[in-house]
């Protein structure tokens, strides 16, 4: 099915928006009136530019406050419409969006609205143009799609049809099943937008918080299925008003937008993509650093052993149980210190996982590799983290471990068993994109988004995970662009006995993040502990949480560069990440940073 995007969904000049839409793979665009008015290009030049880029202009929008008004006012509206239709003929598009009126002059008279829309359609037909009538969720008298359709049906004009917008339908809680009562040929256009489920004024919700399908809480696929059952054959078009998208670079946003439509088409049976290959575990986490000594000291204190070295690169493997951390001091080393650069994901079908990623527009990364190195496929996540699809110890597949030669080492003394989860701080304008990426490309399930109070703002977090928790990735973003550099990534290590591991770490010279005494006073009020248990937690800086499934104990190392480690103990099937404790941890990290000048 053809795909389109409204220029209002992207940032930049009209020319930049058109270029981004074309490069991302869209077939067409909706030209938003403000974008045209601000462009130095004449309509004919915009038409030619779109043709050069392989884009059709599917819709011109919007025309506002047209119908159900006094005759004198309607006469002025027809004069305005004639000018717009002349412009559209120059632009080379044949469909105009007319929104239900919000004018204080509009009257609650469906017959009058139908008669005036029919007159508008008469004029449009003279120019070879169709009028698509849309119910705004905040329309003065017409605010639901079925009401708008009744008016269109009453007008009974061949050049007048309905425009359906998923946001306007679903934000009001309307039942989309009724769409199937509309003949497909009378649905002139379909606009799609998702949104987080918020309790707020619908106009503000619409203007600032829309997102691409799959990034919010609406059942967009269900709505599209209803539309398809009518026989609708027009484009699937995105119309997304979002403050973040309109400030982010247009190119990546357009790619994310097109990815959302690919996933949507797969969900409704319009497209067949390579099947998702859900990762089954974390093979490794790779840290890059200009100075290996500080992070190596932390790993050693945690009980990791430096067990192997890459045959051709300055990369060492540190291992404790099934937890593996690569320390890379090569050309990719960060100038701002140690950082988490790559994740190896265990995959039952690495090649299939790579095909899925490429089909969903994930950038495949070139690799510097020697001829004998394992053939590992890697793609870039939205935040730039490299994701490798691995098959550890399976010789016929992507066995990255074969690239490493063992080095003499003492048996590690550790209670660390594996990597429990990884926490990745997203650039502020890529949070929604990251959620869709990890859901669609990797096949992980997204949990509910949570907001965490930080001493200097708000941290938004959302975890993605496989069914049994073998792979857990916590995605987070601050409230402002500056937060990208404030918050560090971290690697959470599972331990059977977090108290024992914490004591061993501290005895080996490791520094645990201290927690304020007030936290433990509150903990004593919230939970009952065995005698001496709370004092032990206070001594080691261990935090505690409990949910319906079990208990959670966790503590943190000091930050090295932009990375720190978390030790976690899950008992009884605890499913969370200690979100209740996050504000305390963030405050403690800010305090430690002030003390060290970091």
List binding-site positions for a divalent metal cation.
134, 165, 191, 239
Q: What's the maximum distance between 2 C-alpha atoms anywhere in the chain? A: 91
How many alpha carbons fall within 13 Å on the CB side of residue 199?
Answer: 0
d(CA 311, CA 332): 17
Q: What does the buried/exposed string (b/e) look like for 523-558 if buried means 16 or more CB atoms within 10 Å of the residue's CB?
A: beeeeeeeeeebeebbebbbbbbbeeeeebbbbbbb
Contacts of 545 (CB under 8 A, 6+ apart): 551, 552, 554, 574, 576, 578, 579, 580, 581
Contact by Cβ (8 Å): 570, 547: no
Q: Which residues are annotated as a binding site for Mg(2+)?
A: 421, 490, 566
Q: Which residues pair with 473 in a beta bridge?
A: 422, 464
Binding residues: 134, 165, 191, 239, 421, 490, 566
Q: How far apart are CA 470 and CA 565, in angstroms?
A: 18
Do the bridges between strand 450-454 and strand 489-495 make them parallel or antiparallel, or are there none, so unpaired?
A: unpaired
Q: State how far the Cα of 283 lies from the Cα of 419, in Å rounded to an integer.
A: 9
- Residue 47, classed as helix, strand or coil, is helix
Give the pairing type, strands 543-546 and 563-571.
unpaired
Q: What are the φ and ψ backbone dihedral angles of 32, each rounded to 5 degrees?
A: -80, 135
Bond prior to 56 in cis (omega within 30° of 0): no
Q: How far apart are CA 215 and CA 212, in angstroms?
A: 6
- Rg of the Cα trace of the chain? 28
By DSSP bridging, strand 416-425 and strand 489-495 are: antiparallel
CB 547 within 8 A of CB 575: yes
Tokens of 540: 């080691």
Dist CA 556 CA 298 (whole Å) = 11
**H/E stretch holding 85:** helix 71-91
Residue (of 126, 149, 433, 389) closest to 282 by Cα position: 389
Pairing state between β 445-446 and 457-465: antiparallel
């Amino acid at each position: 099915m053809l795909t389109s995007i409204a220029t209002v969904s992207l940032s930049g000049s009209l020319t930049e928006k058109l270029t981004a839409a074309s490069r991302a793979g869209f077939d067409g665009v909706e030209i938003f009136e403000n974008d045209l008015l601000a462009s130095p290009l004449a309509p004919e030049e915009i038409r030619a530019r779109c043709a050069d880029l392989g884009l059709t202009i599917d819709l011109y929008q919007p025309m506002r406050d047209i119908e159900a008004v006094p005759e004198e006012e309607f006469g002025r509206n027809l004069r305005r419409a004639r000018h717009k239709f002349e412009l559209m003929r120059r632009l080379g598009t044949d469909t105009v969006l007319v929104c239900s009126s919000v004018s204080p002059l509009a009257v609650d008279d469906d017959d009058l609205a139908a008669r005036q829309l029919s007159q508008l359609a008469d004029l449009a037909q003279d120019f070879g143009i169709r009028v698509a009538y849309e119910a705004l969720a905040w329309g003065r008298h017409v605010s639901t799609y079925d009401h708008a359709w009744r008016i269109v049906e009453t007008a009974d004009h061949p050049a007048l049809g309905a425009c359906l917008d998923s946001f306007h339908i679903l934000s009001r809680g309307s039942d989309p099943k009724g769409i199937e009562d509309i003949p497909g040929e009378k649905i002139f256009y379909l606009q799609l937008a998702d949104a987080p489920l918020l309790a707020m004024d619908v106009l503000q919700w619409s203007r600032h918080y829309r997102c691409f399908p799959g990034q919010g809480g609406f059942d967009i696929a269900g709505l599209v299925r209803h539309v398809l059952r009518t026989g609708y054959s027009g484009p699937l078009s995105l119309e997304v008003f979002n403050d973040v998208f309109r400030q982010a670079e247009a190119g990546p946003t357009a790619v994310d937008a097109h990815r959302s439509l690919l996933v949507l088409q797969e969900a409704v049976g319009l497209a067949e993509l390579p099947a998702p290959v859900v990762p089954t575990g974390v093979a490794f986490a790779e840290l890059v650093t200009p100075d290996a000594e500080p992070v190596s000291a932390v790993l050693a204190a945690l009980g990791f052993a430096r067990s192997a070295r890459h045959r051709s690169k300055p990369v060492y493997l540190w291992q404790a149980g099934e937890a593996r951390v690569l320390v890379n001091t090569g050309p990719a080393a960060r100038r701002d210190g140690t950082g988490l650069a790559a994740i190896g994901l265990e995959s039952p079908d690495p090649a299939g996982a790579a095909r899925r990623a490429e089909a969903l527009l994930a950038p495949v990364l070139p690799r510097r590799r020697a001829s004998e190195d394992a053939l590992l496929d890697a793609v870039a996540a939205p935040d730039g983290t490299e994701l490798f699809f691995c098959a550890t110890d399976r010789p016929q597949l992507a066995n990255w471990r074969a690239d490493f030669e063992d080095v003499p080492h003492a048996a590690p003394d550790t209670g660390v068993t594996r990597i429990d989860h990884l926490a990745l701080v997203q650039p502020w304008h890529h949070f929604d994109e990251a959620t869709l990426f990890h859901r669609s490309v990797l096949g992980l399930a997204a949990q509910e988004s949570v907001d965490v109070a930080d001493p200097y703002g708000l941290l938004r977090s959302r975890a993605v995970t496989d069914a049994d928790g073998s792979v857990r990735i916590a995605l987070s973003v601050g409230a402002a662009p500056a937060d990208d550099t404030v918050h560090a990534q971290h690697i959470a290590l599972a331990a059977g006995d977090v108290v024992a591991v914490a004591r061993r770490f501290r005895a080996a010279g490791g520094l645990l993040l201290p927690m304020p005494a007030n936290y433990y006073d509150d903990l004593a009020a919230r939970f009952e502990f065995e005698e001496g248990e709370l004092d032990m937690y206070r001594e080691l800086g261990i935090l505690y949480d409990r949910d319906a499934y079990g208990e959670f104990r966790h503590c943190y190392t000091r930050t090295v560069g932009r990375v720190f480690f978390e030790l976690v103990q899950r008992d009884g099937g605890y499913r969370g990440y200690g979100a209740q404790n996050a504000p305390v941890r963030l405050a403690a990290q800010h305090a430690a940073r002030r003390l060290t000048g970091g």
